[in-house]
Structure 1
Amino acid sequence: MSISGEDGARGGFPGADDVLTVAQLNHRVARLLEAGIPRVWVCGEISNFTRAASGHWYFSIKDESAAVRAVMFRGRAQAVGFVPRVGERLELRVQVSLYEPRGDYQLQVEAMRRAGRGDLHEAFLRLRDRLSTEGLIDPARRRPIAAMPRAVGVVTSLAAAALRDVLSVMARRAPHVRVVVYPAPVQGREAAAQLCEALALAVARAEVDTLLLVRGGGSLEDLWSFNDEALARAIAASPIPIVSGVGHETDFTIADFVADLRAPTPTAAAELCCDSQAACEERLRNALGALAVAQRRRLDRAAMRLDKAAAQLVSPAQRLRLRGQRLTAAAQRLQAAVSHRTQVQAARLAAVRGRLEALDPRGVLGRGYAIVRGPSGNIVKNALDLNIGERIDVEFGSGRAQADIVHTESPF
Structure 2
Amino acid sequence: MSLFDSAAARAAGEPMTFTVAELANRIKQVLGDAFGDELWVEGEIRNLSRARSGHMYFDLVEPDPDNGSGKQPEALISVALFRFNRERVEETLRRQGGMAMEDGMKVRIQGKLDFWPPGGRLQLYMSDIDPNFTLGELEAERLRLLEKLSGEGLLTKNQAVPFPVAPLRIGLVTSNGSAAHHDFHNELVASGLAWEVVLADTPVQGVDAPPLIAAAIGAVGRAGVDVIAVVRGGGARTDLVAFDSEVVARAAANAPVPVVTGVGHEIDRSIVDEVAHEAQKTPTAAAVFIVTVARAHLEAAEQAWGGVSAWALRRLGDADQRLMVVSQTTARAADSHLLRAGSRLQSRAGRIRELAETRTRGETRRVDGCAGAMRYRASAAIADERRTLEQMNSTMASQAQRAPRAATKELTNLEGRVRLLDPRAILARGWSITRHGGKVVRDPAKLGAGDELATTLAEGDLHSTVNENQ
Category of TM-score, reference length = shorter chain: 0.3 to 0.5
TM-score under structure 1 length normalisation: 0.47
